[in-house]
């Protein structure tokens, strides 16, 4: 709202001598198009024809007919009929409009179809051109300030029909360096506006633009027209302010919606993670139950093993007792065996000695042999004998 107040104040303080209307204000544009010479010059630039080939131009009713009360009605800024039968819808659009491409197609289609009355032949249809002069940038992907759209066969590349055409002029895209006085860019620069001196320079060298400039000067000095112009300009500023406010509200709504969507995504992600965690928990619980079962089984086996171990230890103790008893018996037997061996050795030695003495007495051994075998000296052996 503060911006609008500044703009209004600027208009009020502009001197009468320096004030000049801006042609991009749609009210001013319509007034300029009322002049047949201005109309002819602009249409000639659009159609790329010498102005003298345009012929007579007639402004038609700018409200298109509709078949039913429910059908959307189209209102055109300037609707012109050429002497050739061609019709043009020339629209100056100051503020940004969403879906301009669809809107222009709607108006073009309405204009084309409204030519025929019931029962008339299709061969009476004449060429229709929808011209949009935009004081804003709609096609943001390129720098083309003027585009001409026609209908072509995609398979062959041939023009399907010359009777339907769209032209779009985007004023903010006008190239800075352009000095040709007769082309469409010159008209676009004029419509874009400027101060009185700049507008006068733009019109030089082009009789049709000079005529438009003269009309513009005359309108700017006409008090009633100036009041109508300023009322329309204020209405556009209010509409622009409302549009900006609406856009800001929609942007805030979009931001809130974005945060809400983000929160929803986060919630959905959290729910997914929770579901995954619950799944893992269920799996872990299953594994824990299985492990507990295995542990119980292992504990049972361990108890059984311990019982078997106790039984084995008892058997081992019993075996050890039997082993001790056997070892004692073995020791006694070995002792008895040793005594028997000792007795046997004594008896054997005594028998051997008796045999030596017997052999000596029989004269089979001499004294030395008998004493040696007996393990004594001859003197001791003789003492033993005698």
Rg (CA), the chain: 64
How far is residue 381's CA from residue 372's CA, in Å, rounded to a whole number? 9
- pLDDT for position 16: 64
- pLDDT for position 68: 52
Lowest mean pLDDT among 5-9, 150-154, 220-224, 330-334: 5-9
How far is residue 187's CA from residue 199's CA, in Å, rounded to a whole number? 11
- pLDDT for position 5: 33
Per-residue model confidence as pLDDT tens digits over 30-42:
999 999 999 999 9
* 91 bridge partner residues: 132
Tokens 């594994």 label which residue?
287
How far is residue 210's CA from residue 202's CA, in Å, rounded to a whole number? 9
- pLDDT for position 241: 83
Instruction: Check pLDDT > 70 for residue 209.
Output: yes
Is there a contact between 212 and 199 (Cβ–Cβ < 8 Å)?
no
Strands 146-152 and 87-93: unpaired
- pLDDT for position 63: 53
- Measured between its terminal Cα atoms, the distance across the chain in Å is 168
Domain assignments of the chain as residue spans, ordered by start:
2-63+74-115+125-250, 343-386
* Single pTM value for the model: 0.61
Per-residue model confidence as pLDDT tens digits over 344-362:
778 788 888 888 888 888 8
DSSP character for 81?
E
How far is residue 189's CA from residue 27's CA, in Å, rounded to a whole number? 18
Instruction: Check pLDDT > 60 for residue 71.
Output: no
* 75 bridge partner residues: 63
Instruction: Check pLDDT > 60 for residue 219.
Output: yes
Lowest mean pLDDT among 168-172, 240-244, 369-373: 240-244
- pLDDT for position 375: 84
Instruction: Check pLDDT > 60 for residue 75.
Output: no
Q: What average pLDDT is seen over the chain?
A: 85
State the average pLDDT over residues 66-90: 74
Task: Give 178's pLDDT tier (boundaries 50, 70, 90).
Answer: low
- pLDDT for position 360: 84
């Amino acid at each position: 709202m503060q911006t609008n107040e500044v703009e209004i104040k600027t208009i009020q303080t502009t001197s009468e001598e320096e004030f000049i209307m801006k042609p991009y204000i749609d009210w001013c544009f319509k007034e300029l198009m009322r002049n047949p010479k201005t109309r002819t010059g602009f249409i000639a630039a659009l159609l790329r024809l010498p102005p003298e080939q345009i012929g007579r131009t007639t402004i038609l009713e700018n409200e298109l007919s509709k078949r039913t009360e429910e059908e959307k009605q189209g209102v055109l800024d300037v609707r012109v009929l050429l002497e050739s039968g061609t019709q043009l819808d020339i629209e100056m659009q100051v503020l940004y409009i969403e879906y301009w491409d669809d809107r222009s197609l709607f108006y073009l289609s309405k204009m084309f179809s409204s030519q025929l009355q019931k029962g008339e032949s299709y061969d009476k249809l004449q060429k229709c051109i929808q011209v949009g002069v935009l004081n804003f940038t709609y096609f943001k992907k390129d720098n083309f300030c003027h585009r001409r759209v026609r209908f072509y066969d995609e398979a062959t590349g041939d023009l399907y029909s010359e009777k339907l055409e769209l032209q779009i002029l985007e004023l903010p895209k006008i190239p800075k360096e352009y000095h040709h006085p007769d082309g469409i860019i010159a008209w676009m620069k004029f419509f874009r506006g400027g101060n009185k001196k700049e507008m006068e320079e733009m019109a030089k060298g082009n009789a049709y633009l000079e005529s438009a400039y003269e009309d513009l000067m005359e309108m700017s000095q006409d008090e009633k027209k100036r009041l109508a112009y300023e009322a329309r300009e204020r209405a556009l500023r209010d509409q622009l302010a409302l549009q900006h406010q609406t856009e800001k509200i929609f942007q805030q709504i979009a931001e809130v919606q974005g945060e809400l969507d983000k929160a929803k995504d986060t919630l959905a992600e959290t729910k997914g993670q929770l579901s995954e965690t619950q799944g893992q928990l269920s799996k872990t619980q299953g594994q824990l139950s299985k492990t507990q079962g295995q542990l119980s089984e292992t504990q049972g086996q361990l108890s059984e093993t311990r019982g078997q171990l106790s039984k084995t230890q008892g058997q081992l103790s019993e075996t050890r007792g039997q082993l001790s008893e056997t070892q004692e018996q073995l020791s006694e037997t070995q002792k008895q065996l040793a005594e028997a061996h000792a007795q046997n050795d004594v008896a054997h030695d005594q028998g051997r000695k008796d045999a030596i003495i017997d052999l000596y007495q029989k004269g089979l051994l001499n004294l030395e042999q008998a004493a040696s075998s007996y393990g004594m000296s001859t003197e001791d052996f003789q003492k033993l004998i005698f």
